[in-house]
Amino acid sequence: MSTSIPPTALSSQSLQSTSNLSGTGRSSISNDGQHQASAPGYGSAEHFESPAFRGTKPAEFQWVKASEGIIPVNAVQGGIEKTGEPLYIARLVLLSGIYEQPDMLVSTDSKSQTDELAFYKDGLHPGKAGKHLERGFSMSYDSKEIKLPEYYVLCGNASRLRWVEQDGPVVINDYTPVPGGHEAGGESLYVGKVVFDGGQQIGKCSSHFKKGMVFGYAGKEKNESKYMILAYL
């Protein structure tokens, strides 16, 4: 059975008192108003929404394109490193088989595609973004931590979101999860959070992940059975 963590439990103090997943002395979910988006382009954030995103969320939320560690205004902070750096909810996107990198377009259908790009064909994978992260974005795939320079950050009113406890595969009953993406085969992926190694890490979860949530950490793909899934209030 899932347990909902209400909005009043989104501070670190309340989170510790209502959940077995202890916090780290910082807010577990919030908006960051200090980072300003720069002009669109390399190392920037810009408001852009693919048609594939439409109909998957309330209008008060959007996925904002960013790169190279830039965090857009009103980004949703979902986690924190053990050393105090904030982690933001983000995902990697593929548009019509094309993965966009600064100054070039790479077709994932090409025979000459790199191993890095081959991982993500037709998939949309949740992960984490941060100013301190190498290349700006991190996700897990095929037992590895994958780091990439372009990503989309979840932006909106964080007070309209909550975390719901899970154990093992995602079970959706009395809550509505925030859609995080999908596998190449179409299986839904959601945003997960777990207390790990003194911090709160962001990753992906799904009903077809038998062992629970997966996330990238220290170069590897990690797995935890007890975690929380991001849901609408």
Question: Residue 72, Cα to own-chain centre: how many angstroms?
Answer: 14
The pair of structure tokens assigned to 133 is 């992260």
- The whole domain housing 59 covers 3-232
Contacts with 110 (C-beta within 8 Å, 6 or more apart), sequence order: none
Contacts with 166 (C-beta within 8 Å, 6 or more apart), sequence order: 2, 192, 205, 212, 213, 226, 227, 228, 229
Determine the pLDDT at residue 54: 42
Determine the pLDDT at residue 42: 33
Q: Tell me which residue of 210, 220, 203 sits closest to 167, measured CA to CA.
A: 210
Start-to-end CA distance of the chain, whole Å, equals 18
Determine the pLDDT at residue 135: 94
Give the count of domains, the chain.
1
Determine the pLDDT at residue 117: 35
pLDDT in tens, the chain (233 residues): 455 443 323 322 222 222 333 333 333 566 654 444 433 333 444 444 433 344 445 568 999 999 999 999 999 999 999 999 999 999 985 444 444 433 333 333 333 333 333 335 568 899 999 999 999 999 998 899 999 999 999 999 999 999 999 999 999 999 999 999 988 888 999 999 999 999 999 999 999 999 999 999 999 999 999 999 999 99
